[in-house]
Amino acid sequence: TRRILLDCDPGHDDAIAILLAAGDPGVEIAAITTVSGNQSIEKVTRNALAIAELAGLDPTVPIARGAHRPLLHEVEYAPEYHGESGLDGPQLPEPTRALDSRHGVQLIIDTIMGSEPGEITLVPTGALTNVALAVRLEQRIVERVREVIFMGGGVHVGNHGPFSEFNIAIDPEAAQIVIGAGWPITMVGLDATHQAVVTPEIRAKLDAVGTRSSAFVGGLLDFYGAAYAGHGFAHPPVHDPVTVAMVIDPTLVRAVKAPLAVELTGTLTKGMTVADLREPAPESTPTSVALGVENERFWDLVVAALSRLP
Ligand code: BDR
Ligand code: CA
């Protein structure tokens, strides 16, 4: 089993990422940290605790609140996709577990430094603020993690701007710190996640699971699907769990090695992730870019995970 740290801003798709990780035997959640993004840090942190409750996550797994705003940019949320609560739609269970008293950035550092070298895989599914701060506070984490697999960015595709994706656009400086840190890192961007869609057939499979967790995911997808329909998507893409699926089974995702950086000064393209897809990429390139995902097999993992959960 791969041990992962989820750094997230739940968020409908973040919630599904947590549930996939909690229900799949191939991964073990070492810790969860939250970051300002889809909603305020207070809201997304409460949501993370509620999802942990729903999933029956081991109460010894620490959950900590992270950064309350981006490094330089003004704070920005995504109520048009995630509602005022950050998880609009289904009724959330009341969290009974307590937050870890550490700052999320400290929990990231402690989790990595307290594990064996190469043990922890970092899986960020929100803005990269916490991870950037962790890199600056304790640079030894860069050597010590196994790899970083994050949701964000895209190649010539955007959802926040024409060429920028939300997680990168709201904190581009943090994203550049993380992408340029030198550790092995894979960008799971919109090229892949726009293929991870909920078709009516997949929705039927999810509904047939019949657990409390699958009913909850159904409620999430009702709200989230309607929000995406308003943006021209026939079927809503769930971005964040593709990262977890890639940890579980890398063959689900088509990824290529490519030099990668964030545009920080463009007047029209700030927050764009610039991948150099010219071949061959230098052997030493630490950055990879996901370009596609096998949707059916991806959902098979989610369905199986939901059937193992309460
Ligand atoms: C990303 O932005 C957030 O709204 C989602 O949770 C996902 O992480 C998609 O662009
Ligand atoms: Ca997210």
Residue 144 three-state SS: helix
Residue 173 three-state SS: helix
Residue 60, phi then psi, degrees to nearest 5: -85, -10
171-194: average pLDDT = 98
Which pLDDT band holds residue 292 (cuts at 50, 70, 90)?
Answer: very high
Q: What does the pLDDT look like over 96-139, one tens digit per residue? A: 999 999 999 999 999 999 999 999 999 999 999 999 999 999 99
Is 239 among the catalytic positions? yes
Nearest CA-CA partner of 63 in 27, 34, 106: 34
pLDDT of residue 15: 98
- C-alpha angle 287/248/309, rounded to 5°? 140
**In this structure, is the dihedral angle defined by the CA atoms of residues 306, 308, 309 and 310, taken in order, positive or negative?**
positive
pLDDT of residue 214: 98
210-223: average pLDDT = 98
pLDDT of residue 61: 98
pLDDT of residue 57: 97
For the CA of 165, the nearest atom of ligand 1: 10
Q: Does the N-terminal peptide bond of residue 11 adopt cis geometry, omega within 30 degrees of 0?
A: yes
Are the C-beta atoms of 81 and 39 separated by less than 8 Å? Answer: no
- Measured CA to CA, the distance from residue 119 to residue 282 in angstroms comes to 26
Q: Give the distance (Å) from ligand 1 centre to CA of residue 16.
A: 12
Nearest CA-CA partner of 13 in 232, 147, 172, 166: 166
- C-alpha angle 152/153/154, rounded to 5°? 130
Query: Is the beta carbon of 78 within 6 A of some atom in ligand 1?
Result: yes
Query: Is the beta carbon of 6 within 6 A of some atom in ligand 1?
Result: no
What percent of the chain clears pLDDT 70, i.e. is strictly above it? 100
Mutation test residue for ligand 1: of 12, 239, 242, the one with most atoms within 8 Å of CB: 239
ipTM exceeding cut-off 0.90 for this assembly: yes
* Alpha carbon distances (Å) from 197 to 11, 206, 237: 16, 13, 4
Please indicate, yes or no, whether the overall pTM of this predicted structure exceeds 0.95. yes
179-186: average pLDDT = 98
Taking each helix axis from N to C end, the angle separating 41-55 and 212-229, rounded to the nearest 10 degrees, works out to 140
Are the C-beta atoms of 149 and 4 separated by less than 8 Å? Answer: no
Beta-sheet pairing, 273-275 with 260-262: antiparallel
Are the C-beta atoms of 111 and 133 separated by less than 8 Å? Answer: no
Q: What does the pLDDT look like over 69-86, one tens digit per residue? A: 999 999 999 999 999 999
149-178: average pLDDT = 98
Q: What does the pLDDT look like over 218-263, one tens digit per residue? A: 999 999 999 999 999 999 999 999 999 999 999 999 999 999 999 9
284-292: average pLDDT = 98
pLDDT of residue 102: 98
- Measured CA to CA, the distance from residue 234 to residue 148 in angstroms comes to 31
Q: Give the distance (Å) from ligand 2 centre to CA of residue 307.
A: 23
Six token digits for residue 136: 């600056």
- Residue with CA closest to ligand 1 atom 10: 166
Q: Does the N-terminal peptide bond of residue 79 adopt cis geometry, omega within 30 degrees of 0?
A: no
Q: Give the distance (Å) from ligand 1 centre to CA of residue 238.
A: 8
263-291: average pLDDT = 97
Mean pLDDT of the chain: 98
For the CA of 240, the nearest atom of ligand 1: 8
